[in-house]
Structure formats: C-alpha cells, structure tokens
Structure 1
Amino acid sequence: MVKLTRTRPPDDAAASSKRAVRSADTARNYRVVATAGVFEPGFRGGGPIRSLRFILDTLPGDLDVTLITRDRDLHSPAPYPGLSGRLLRRDDRSAVFYLDPRAPRHWVRLIRHVRSRPIDLLYVNSIWSLFSVLSILVVALRLVRVGAILVAPRGELSPGALAIRTAKKRLFLAVWAPLLRRLRVRWQACSGLEEKQIRANMPWAQVMVNGNESPIPEHPAPPARAHDGPLRLVFVGRISPMKNLSTALEAVAGTTRPMEFDIFGPPEDPHYWSRCQRIIAAMPGHVRVRYLGELAAADVLPTFSRYDAFLFPTLGENFGHVILESLASGCPVVCSDNTPFSELIADTGGLVVRPATAAGLSRALDLLAARSPEERAEAKGTAGRRYRHWRQRHREPNVLAHARQFCR
C-alpha cells in the first residue's frame, strides 16, 4: 500500500515559515511597552525621567522596549523640536514614541507599532497619569493583549502624596483598585518603604522591590575647598507642596547665623510658589535667598558641588534621585525622614531631622553653620567618598530583567 501524504500549498508553507520566524524572534526578545508622562529631552519631571533613562541604558540584550511618552516637557505648551509623532530608536534594544494625545495620526501610528508583535509586559509609570489610565483601560477592554502588567507608582501612594487632593485621589482609588486587582497587576517598589506604602493601600498587591535606578558615578566628587563666609545651602527640585520648600524657607528664616540659600526648580504650583515668595520677602537680614530658575539634567551635579548642604524637607520620596546626586557631588543632605536613604544620609555626614519641622531644621542648620571652613570642606569630601562606597555595594538586576522573572 502506498500512503498518501497531504501537502500544503506553497503559500501556506511560506506563511508557516514567516510564523516560525516571528515565533523565534519572540522567544529571543522579551517585549515591553512602557508608558510615562514625560521623558528626555524633558527634565521637569525629575527623578522618574532619570530612573527610566538608567533602566533603558542598562537593558539586557534579549529585551525589546518601547517607551510611550508625551511629546513635550511637564507643563510645557510646546512640543520638542522634531520629535512629535516620531518613533525614535535609542539603540537596538529600546525606542521612544513621542505622542501628542490630541493628534489622531499619532494614535494610528502608535497603535500600528504596538500591535505589530505580541507584548509580554506593560510597564506603567504612575497611577494617575493619563498615559497609565488609558493603557490599562485598553488592556481591560481587550483591545491589546499583554502577558502581564507592572505598575510603578513612583511615590504616589506615600502618605505625603495622598494628603494632597486627598478626596479626589481616594475616590479614584476606590474605583480603580478593583480593576487593577482583577487584571492581576503587579507592582514595583523602589524601596522597602515604598513596598509598605503600596501594601497599605492595596493589601492584595504582589510587589517586586527593585531600586536599581541610578548609575554608579564614573568620576570622584570634585575636590572640596575650604571657604570663608556664610553657610551655602541649596534646594533642587520641583516647587510643589510635596517637596516642601515652604518649610525649608521657614527653617532658614528661623536660623541665627548668616546663610545663603539658592533655589533651583520649576514652579509647578503657582499658588504654592506665591506662598514661598511671601516667606522670601520677609527674610531676616542675615539670610540671603535667591531663586535661580530651572536646572538642566547635565547641570545638576556641578551645581550641587558648589554648596555646603542640600536642604530637602520632602514630604515623601519613593526613591530620591536628587539625594543621590547631591551625595555624588560631595554635598551633604539635610532631610526629613521620609525617604529610603535616612541611614545613608546620616552615614555621609548629613542630618536627618525627625520630625522635619521648621524649628528642628533651623537648629540643624545652625549646627552646620557653626562649623569651620575646614570642617565644611571635610564634610563634603566624606559625603562623596562614602556615597561611592555605598553605591558599589548596592547593585540589583535591571528592573525590567527582574520583572521578566517576577511576572511569570
């Protein structure tokens, strides 16, 4: 007997071959679509921009990441020149799509790209962002299928953050949390502190703790030189209630020794900035305060290196890039106890003030101002050296490589 074998038409064979190629490609590359409200070349978004840049710069070779972000900086009316609507390839592992949400053509282009291949992980940065909400709704409605969802709240679930516009945020969470639970969303915490904050609001949450979001400094901190004159203080950050500049200003006003306090950052909340300006206008004569505008990312470390201390009574940081940048520059930190780095701040010669009231901060600043020029210079050198030693000892896998294992 002759056994007859049914063969596929040539077209079917070609299609099968293409499917096999796609399947092999998918097996080689774990595909991630990430969303963030702002990314480079913007800088007003602060730490999350630097986190995402480091994550993309250190991707393993078998990951393929597309980051979807707005085509302009935070609160900017104008798009980045030449980037709006473009998919910009950073390297062979990552690309960034700059979206104008009001441009239908951008959405068509984006949807075509997103649906071109299966998505293993949706990585959402922020809970409240329009980008986060829309991307999760798209998955919930099954318009796009993903293997898993990972949410990085970026400090938005800290008590300090939830205390701002409390009623609106609590109402949103009451509606949103059940959907996230139904979708079996996983969470990324940048520290043990943030893990506790996530669980306090989402007791059912599966949380991955990974804070590997800052580079090891390539160079030592600039040499610190003794200087006569008042204590030089700096504030670098968004001018918003969360960063608590008003308390920093009240603390400086309550000191008894001469001080200079320079402020850098975008005024994010006009009403809050007006309040800060009123405090500045009433400063005593022994204190000089200047607002010096915004800082580009490349200017942050050189700026910190010129000061004796970074005054930062923040209401809460899930990570706190700006703290690490200050220490990397050899600038000790005077801070609240609302960050993951209290122990590091104390070990590098700074001061953690508990509670971070204006009066308590004033006393800490007077102690720093009482140091001799040589003691201030020594403190700056100590901060830079001890930070580098700490950073060398604290290494974790790339966040998305970790997520690949965690979200299985």
Structure 2
Amino acid sequence: MPLTLAEKARYARQIILEEFGERAQSALKSRSALVVGSGGLGCPVIMYLAAAGIGKLGIIDGDIVASDNLHRQVIFKEADIGRLKVDAAKECVKALNSFVEVETYPERFSKENALALAGQYDLIVDGTDNLASKYLINDACVISSKPFIYGAVYKFEGHVSVFNGKLKDGTLGPTYRCLFPSPPTAGLPNCAEIGVLGGVPGAIGMLQAVEAIKVLADVGDPLVGRLLIFDMLSARLRLVNIKRRPEVCDIEKLGTYDNAPRCAGVREISSAELSRWMAKGADFEIVDVREPSEVAQYSIGGIHVPLNELERATEKIPDNKPVVFVCQSGVRSAYAISMLKEKAQNGDYYNLKGGLNEYRAFIEKG
C-alpha cells in the first residue's frame, strides 16, 4: 500500500533503516493485528504497533481501568479509572497516530468469538495473563492459519515467541502446544496473586511488538521455533529451541478453555531446605524440566526430562521417593507437577521455589 508524503515524513527514522525501508513500511500499513488484552503486556504492544504505522489495530478486553493497573499499564491515566480499557486505549492510539484504524471489542476473547475475530486479522498478539486464554489463542490461530505472538510474565521473568509462524524454509513452525501440550487442571498464578514489577511486562510487550512488526512487514528473523527467556532480575537472556510436534498441532475445532484453580496442591521447597536435603544425603530425586541448552549452562544434577517431553516420559519419574522438580524460575516445574497430578500421578512432588535462579543465588551467597 503506497505511503503518503505525510506518512513518509512521520516514519522517516524507520524507512532509512537498510533492513526495513519503504517496502516494509508500506507492507506494515496494509496489515492488521488483534491484541488480546490491554493490560501490562497489551499496553506497550498497542502503542508500539500504532507508533510504527500498522494499518489496522484490533483491541479486545472486557475489563475496566483500576488504580492498581496504573503502575504497569502505562497508556492509562488516573482520569481513566472506571472506564472501559478498550475505550481509553483507542483514545490513546488515535491521539498518537491518526493514520491507524482502530477497532475495539469490549468483551472477553472467548470460544464464541475467537474464530470470527481471528479471521479478520493477519495475526494475534497475546496480552493475557492466564493459561486458558493462551490455549484458546493458540488453537484459534492454528485453525485460522494465523501467527500467534506469545508473551508471558512471571515475577521478574518474561517469555516471548512466535507460534504457528513460518520458518526460513517456508514450513510451519511449532505451536504453543508443542511447548506446553495441554493445560494442567491446576493453573499458574497471575500478577494479581504474586505481583509484578511494572517494567517487566513493559519490556516483554515491547519485544512482542517488534516480533509482530517483523512478521507483518516480512523483515528479519522472527522468533519462530525459539523461546526467548528474559530474566530481568539477573539481566540474563536465553534462547530455547522448540521443535514442532505434529501429534499436538492437528487442531480442527476449539475445545474447552477454563481457568482452573491456581496452583492447587503444588508444594514448594525452598533453596535452603533443598540444600539441607543434599547436605544430609536425603533419599530424593531431582527432575530438571528445562531444555538441554539450559542444562548445559548450569545444573544441580538429577534426571533431565524437558517439559515438552514429560507427557511421554512419565515412567522416568520415581514413585517411591520425594521428587523435586526444577526449572529456571519455578514456572515450568510447577506446570510439570500440575500436569502429572492431572494424569493421576500423585507422587511426593515438590517445586523448587524461585527455581534455579534463586537456588544459585542462595548457594553463591554461602
């Protein structure tokens, strides 16, 4: 879609980028994205996509602005408290860039509207904070053949990836279910339950916006088949490769998507207690659910079963002794325990609180 003189002037700093140019800017103008959720992740996504010059932006969220949103949902003001988030977000976008077409939906992204909405946009960006919505977005994108720009935050850690996108050879990359095949009955806590530092979802949302721009404008190397993990407390970045699993990618219809009870029955063990178990030679096992590249960087031993292989390798998990599940921050290991409990494997399971990040810091402090 040709750019006007006003648009060329407005986006001049992007257009002069050799890797971007007028071609990519024109492509972005002709494309659209649906942002599901206008919270901590959705706010920076909305503003950076609008500022970059996307043609059409859809925003779906049935929530209203509350005072405890303002420390991280930075497009809202005190005067917006009590307003529909989508109304305040649209107002902010139009004030920033009147060239952008904005469509708002003051409702939840649900099984009833997911496919109809997915069909109207070129991709979907995940701004949600619950597992049910992430699985619904994934499945709607798979059925509709649309890329899914994934983002998630847990305390000081954030994840970003591009699911259901195209690899360099033109084949389809992995989906969200290739990483997490099925949701556990017991979900994971959201920011309302465990807290969040305002800048963390801001940084992750910004990265999601960049990935969306790369996909829409066909520039660079999007995070297809790779999961970016950003631990902001220690300022460490890691990339984990994800393989496509055909047995979980064949989705023909939407399923059931319920937000289950949060982390029900997942016991935790502190780094101090685990260290004591090790020192006294207690009879227990460690199961590390991280990817091989992460284990190669730092490990405390035990059995290595990557999370995306756990469903097919349950026989490796001992049932005659306590088992401590570990990952980098404690998120994936909690998910692993929930998954096993859902399959009626009621072993003596513990989740390492804070993951290996916290354990390593504890050991190094002596």
TM range (shorter): 0.3 to 0.5
TM value normalised by structure 2: 0.32
Q: TM-score scaled to structure 1, two decimals? A: 0.30
